[in-house]
Amino acid sequence: MTRQRILAHFNESAELKVEAGAQLAQPIAEAIDLMFAALSNGNRILACGNGGSAADCQHFAAELVGRFERERLPLPALALSTDSSILTAVGNDYGFDQVFAKQVQAFGQSGDVLLAISTSGNSANVVAAIESALERDMRVVALTGNGGGAIARLLTDADVHICVPHDRTARIQEVHLLIVHCLCDGIDVALFGGESE
């Protein structure tokens, strides 16, 4: 029984990735273009999310500041989930729903991009961060699932919504990680050349 259950996870994940790829290739390409334009103009990318999505934000920032698959200059990206003093101070003084918004207000500039990740699309602190980003004339790339929730209704035509067509958190997160890798690869190719389809 355990082996069958494990295989079921692999099969469901593989099937979703193939299905999602066909639906999401265009918005992922649009997100790459948006991030490329920001980085080319000297702007940066801020990223926020909770739990596994926080880990994806840190992963994304690490790939840009360090490297993805090629040696290159560091790129300015910041995960807003990493400073425990800011998170606990803002959470204590203003509420947990403000832990990312306050940082967007402090660090975000017009022309920057916010990478906002929420599997449900309803994380209150990610929603608040998007609202702050839009107030600062930043663009938003949102990674969601399950229909996109409140985030889907908040985004403008200038933003990019990449919504995984599934309602299971684990599967959505697995596709989000693949999307993060697609973004990193696309940014590298756009900025520094290489094979492109």
Query: What does pLDDT average to over the chain?
Result: 96
In whole angstroms, what is the distance from residue 135 CA to residue 15 CA? 39
Among 76, 104, 110, residue whose Cα is nearest residue 90:
104
Among 40-44, 70-74, 85-89, 162-166, the range scoring the smallest mean pLDDT is 70-74
pLDDT over threshold 50, residue 1: yes
pLDDT over threshold 60, residue 197: no
pLDDT in tens, 100-128: 999 999 999 999 999 999 999 999 999 99
In whole angstroms, what is the distance from residue 174 CA to residue 14 CA? 10
Question: 0.85 cut: is pTM over it?
Answer: yes
Residue 69 has what pLDDT?
93
Residue 195 has what pLDDT?
59
Domain assignments of the chain as residue spans, ordered by start: 2-192
Four-way CATH pick for 2-192: 3.30.70.270, 1.10.287.310, 3.40.50.620, 3.40.50.10490: 3.40.50.10490
Non-local CB neighbours of 45 within 8 Å, separated by 6+ positions:
35, 38, 39, 60, 61, 64, 75, 76, 77, 78, 112, 113, 114, 115
Backbone angles phi, psi at 4, to 5 degrees: -65, -40
Residue 114 has what pLDDT?
98
